[in-house]
Amino acid sequence: MAQGGTIIISPRGAALVRAGHLWVYRSELRKVEAEGGSVVRVRDERGRFIGRALYSDRSEIALRLLTMRDEEIDRAWWQKRLRAAIGRRAGLERACDAFRLVYSEGDLLPSLIVDRYRDLLVMQTLAQGTERLKSLFVELLVEELAPRVIIERNDVRVRELEGLDQRAGVLYGEAMDSIEILQHGVRFRILPLSGQKTGAFLDQRENHLAARRYAHGRALDCFTFNGAFALHMAPACASVLGLDISEEAIEAARANAELNGLRNVEFRVANVFDALREFESQGERFDTIVLDPPAFAKNRASVPAAMRGYKEINLRALKLLNVGGVLITCTCSHHMTEHLFLEIIADAAADARRRVQIIEKRTQSSDHPVLVGVPETLYLKCLILRVIE
């Protein structure tokens, strides 16, 4: 475990840390005496202790704060932090056997993600510091949870910003091609080594249940991926149609529908933007529509284009809904704030000439906790709306 080294940061950087943020950008560094990937002491320009942090010599996020105490960051320290994160999920397994065990900054374990799929764990080490400690994390997770398998899904672009390669593979145990999970009574088969994310979109888990509460009549699930919203809504609806541009995703969704014995669900390969326009031209109507697109705004520069995309699909969906119909609309773009998202919905409703109520404002599932002071930990926004006129 690489220890040692000191980094001096600017007054602005120190103020941000003291206000609760865990990141210090490279532009705020004043003096560096440390090796990339090491745990360093951080001080301000007056020599006052700020905290201990993981240091990256490549990323613009140069420091990821671990603690504001001057304490040894050793095996016992990491074990305590992991145990605390795991303990905060106690009881979730009664309703589902797949959820996030460690949510990086949200759990004060910056750049480390661990997801549980029954007795399989999926880990991501997204910065130089956590990558260097990967074998330690495997060792601790085996001790704490005795999993059958631990795999890494480090095939994500953000690692390139750290000078790290992309990779996916088994770290402990033997490879599993697929695994079946249970989410609130709905069965899914996932591919942990090749599916999107770490195998499933666990951050929408609680929103799937919310959608089931309000869903009724004829439903449309756009950007369905593996069919999670569609399959959760099916018992409450007369019929559900799921759309996704990916043939692989649609095949998986159909297999999941079969796994659950559902006969009122249909899945089609389609471009959602085109399909919504076609439904409108054909005079089609729905009682429930879900919009769960991929992140349109990957960075701040892409926000204007993303706004146009979000408005387009929400405008089309509102036109397709019957009076009394429900729209569950989501954005997983961090840069798309709730305020901005609400403005887009208001513009779309005005252009569609519909009166719309907000029934619920929701965010990511509770196993993806938002850390106060670190706005980047809040990325998923989910609005449940009702058309009343």
Both tokens of residue 226? 């593996």
**Domain containing residue 39:** 3-67
Alpha carbons 281 and 239: distance in angstroms, whole number: 21
One domain, residues 119 and 19:
no
The total of other beta-carbon atoms located within 10 Å of residue 110's CB is: 22
Confidence of residue 3 (pLDDT cuts 50, 70, 90): low
Residue 185 forms part of a structural domain: no
Residue 251 forms part of a structural domain: yes
For 55-91, what is each residue's pLDDT tens digit? 999 999 999 999 999 999 999 999 999 999 999 999 9
CB neighbour list of residue 9: distance below 8 Å, 6 or more residues apart: 17, 24, 28, 29, 30, 42, 43, 44, 45, 50, 63
> Cα dist. 351→86, 281, 323, 343 in Å?
46, 17, 16, 12
Residue 191 forms part of a structural domain: no
Among residues 96, 330, 332, 382, which one is catalytic? 332
Residue 142 forms part of a structural domain: yes
18, 37, 67 - which closes a domain = 67
CATH code where residue 311 lies? 3.40.50.150
One domain, residues 220 and 369:
yes
CB neighbour list of residue 355: distance below 8 Å, 6 or more residues apart: 349, 387, 388, 389
One domain, residues 348 and 226:
yes
Alpha carbons 102 and 339: distance in angstroms, whole number: 28
For 196-210, what is each residue's pLDDT tens digit? 777 788 999 999 999
pLDDT at 200: 84
Q: Give how many domains the chain has, as a whole number.
A: 3
CATH code where residue 52 lies? 2.30.130.10
One domain, residues 244 and 106:
no
Q: DSSP string spanning 292-349?
A: ----S-SSGGGHHHHHHHHHHHHHHHHHHEEEEEEEEEEE--TTS-HHHHHHHHHHHH
Confidence of residue 42 (pLDDT cuts 50, 70, 90): very high
Q: What is the amino acid identity at position 4?
A: G
Both tokens of residue 177? 């091609």
Model-level pTM? 0.94
Residue whose C-alpha is closest to residue 219's, from 232, 206, 207:
232
Both tokens of residue 283? 């005079």
For 269-324, what is each residue's pLDDT tens digit? 999 999 999 999 999 999 999 999 998 887 888 899 999 999 999 999 999 999 99
67, 90, 114 - which closes a domain = 67
Q: What is the amino acid identity at position 117?
A: Y
Burial of 345 from C-beta contacts in 10 A (0-12 / 13-18 / 19+)? buried
Q: What is the percent of the chain where pLDDT is above 70? A: 99
One domain, residues 211 and 330:
yes
One domain, residues 271 and 321:
yes
One domain, residues 274 and 130:
no
Rounded mean pLDDT of the chain? 96
Write out the E strands in the chain: 3-9, 23-25, 29-33, 39-44, 49-55, 61-67, 98-103, 112-117, 120-125, 149-154, 167-172, 179-183, 186-190, 218-222, 239-244, 265-269, 286-291, 321-331, 356-363, 381-387
Residue 195 forms part of a structural domain: no
Residue 26 forms part of a structural domain: yes
One domain, residues 209 and 348:
yes
One domain, residues 242 and 303:
yes
179, 210, 245 - which closes a domain = 179
Q: What is the percent of the chain where pLDDT is above 90? A: 91
Burial 361-379 (b: 16+ CB within 10 A, else e): ebbbbebbbbbeebebbbb
Q: For residues 37 and 2, is the Cβ–Cβ distance under 8 A?
A: yes
Q: DSSP string spanning 336-370?
A: S-HHHHHHHHHHHHHHHT--EEEEEEEES-TTSPP
Residue 193 forms part of a structural domain: no
- The residue among 218 and 301 whose pLDDT is bigger is 218
One domain, residues 251 and 361:
yes
Assess whether 332 carries a catalytic annotation. Answer: yes
One domain, residues 106 and 59:
no
Q: What is the mean pLDDT of residues 5-27?
A: 97
Rg (alpha carbons) of the chain, rounded to whole number:
22
Residue 187 forms part of a structural domain: no
One domain, residues 238 and 298:
yes
For 147-181, what is each residue's pLDDT tens digit? 999 999 999 999 999 999 999 999 999 988 899 99
CATH code where residue 146 lies? 3.30.750.80
